[in-house]
Homo-oligomer: A and B are copies of this chain.
Amino acid sequence: MNKFDAIIIGMGPAGITASIYLKRFGHNVLVIGKDYGALEKADKIENYYALGTKSGKEIVMAGMLQASELGVLVNHDEVISIDYLDSGFLVKTKRMEYEAKTVLIATGKARNTFTKAKAFEGRGVSYCATCDGFFYRKKDISMVGYNEYMLHELEHLLPIVNSVTLYTNGNELEVEVPDTVKVIKEPIEKLYGENRLEGIKTASTDTKVAGCFVALGSANAFTIAKHLGLDLKDNNLAVDEKYMTNIPGIFAAGDVVGGVLQIVKAANDGCQAGYSMNKFIREN
């Protein structure tokens, strides 16, 4: 009872895709997720193959429904801990305890932001240049950041948009940016706009902008990972080419293992991890 071939933590593209493959390989699978993750904030996604244009929430819901219809259990709950058993793992949530032969960590990655940006999420504030840069082509936009990660996002935007104003929001700039980028180091006082973002104010500046890309680097809150003794690499969970962590039976996929933060990449991670977990379950 309450024993599964695979427990998947996270109900975004990586977790749900893995669950679909594992179910269809003949295993009993439980997905546990506490929220819709980074996708919930995306109001318009048009680069996921064969889906046209949808919101992030619509995509997450469609994925969950698809898994449920195939017989995957999808539970809204929060995982508190994972512990070792003689064979497999004990997964404790706020409400229940489960046993699993294998576990997939597909919890995504919290995007760093700052409080003032939250009000305009999906209405001018974006967290992904690759995803949303196209919507701002030939427009005057802004970016918030100061490190290597910001530079990476900036390089995607520059060839597409008309101009970029960069706010370090009080931080020292850790990288060099092209001369065409106007840099404002004063802390941001206010983002304003009636329906969508229209401009940004600091103590001595007021700039009209069509959008604001927040690129403050990615967070890494791996409490469970640390407890289990999982190896990290560049602030991501370290996995081998089979998507297995350093602990046999524990796999990881999606944003949490690094790489581009794209739905199709996360879904493919989930597919590949599904194949590997299937093999692991059959052999052990």
Contacts and interface: CB of A to CB of B under 8 A. Distances in A.
A21 interface: yes
Nearest to A13: B49
Given A24-B133, A275-B260, A270 B49 contact: yes
A230 interface: no
A160 B245 CA distance: 28
A271 interface: yes
Interface size class of A (residues with CB under 8 A): 35 or more
Given A17-B264, A49-B20, A282 B66 contact: no
A2 to B, nearest CB: 22
A47 B21 contact: yes
B62 A50 contact: yes
Nearest to A270: B49
Contacts of A52: 62, 65-66, 69
A264 B268 contact: yes
Interface string A27-54: 0000000000000000000111111111
A275 to B, nearest CB: 6
A47 B268 CA distance: 11
Contacts of A248: none
A280 interface: no
6 contacts: A20-B46, A25-B133, A49-B66, A51-B62, A52-B62, A268-B268
